Amino acid sequence: MVLGELINLKTQNNWLHDLSQPIASGYGELPGHPSTILESFQFHETHGRNNASLTMSIHVGTHVDAPYHFYTDGKTIDRVAPEIFCGQAVIVDLVDKVKNDYAITVVDVKDSLVNIGVTNLEGWRLILHTGWSKHYNTSRYYSHNPHISMELAHWLVDSKVPMIGLDFPPDGIGDELVVPAPAPVHQILLKGEVCILENLTALDELPERKVELICLPIKLVGASGGPARALARARRG
């Protein structure tokens, strides 16, 4: 069975759900980044096949940031162990709490984890669900978005979380759009070797808070990140 047939496949015990934003020409672009262009250069009518080229920033769409994104001595995406990207994950639901410019705190996360039954985050991938993905591909996505507080960023490093997944930009008040970007949350997390899985979607469709995350960024040699297909395997009773 091919991967495409597994997406959203439901069985008695589990299913795979796609948490990735689509990649398409002109979709999800950022100011200052190259335009996303997916363009065919061979066609069924003339070549007996279809082939295409893709031009895009590696930091648009659903993607993983590696430490090299902000640190010259940090690991590039091809040097990050695959085990960082795949494994048990816990989803913190903050939809009813977040609002414009909201800085997510340690207390916010801890309160949710207690309800889920997770007391020690070491080895868990943490996914923050705010519902902000509904603004993806609009100017609002990077304007007045909820974001991670610096206190929370330090706590995640101390908690030895291997990767954090988000449906919103990590930093606030348009920091993503400033050049050079201050991006303090990026800097804290990546210095602590916490990889960042950005631009998730459809988190509201998952039936439970503990899932198996399957996330495989493209193995781009020497790169600061890579586009990724992110899937969650959720168990059902």
Confidence check: pLDDT of 10 > 70: no
> What pLDDT score does 180 carry?
66
- pTM equals 0.92
What integer is the mean pLDDT of 201-226? 97
Which tokens is 178 given?
Answer: 């400033």
> What pLDDT score does 34 carry?
97
pLDDT in tens, 155-210: 999 999 999 999 999 999 755 555 666 899 999 999 999 999 999 999 999 999 99
The answer to whether residues 127 and 213 touch, using CB atoms and an 8 Å cutoff, is: yes
Domains (ranges, CATH) in the chain? 3-21+61-235 (3.50.30.50), 22-57 (no CATH)
Lowest mean pLDDT among 1-5, 18-22, 28-32, 110-114: 1-5
> What pLDDT score does 6 carry?
46
pLDDT in tens, 104-132: 999 999 999 999 999 999 999 999 999 99
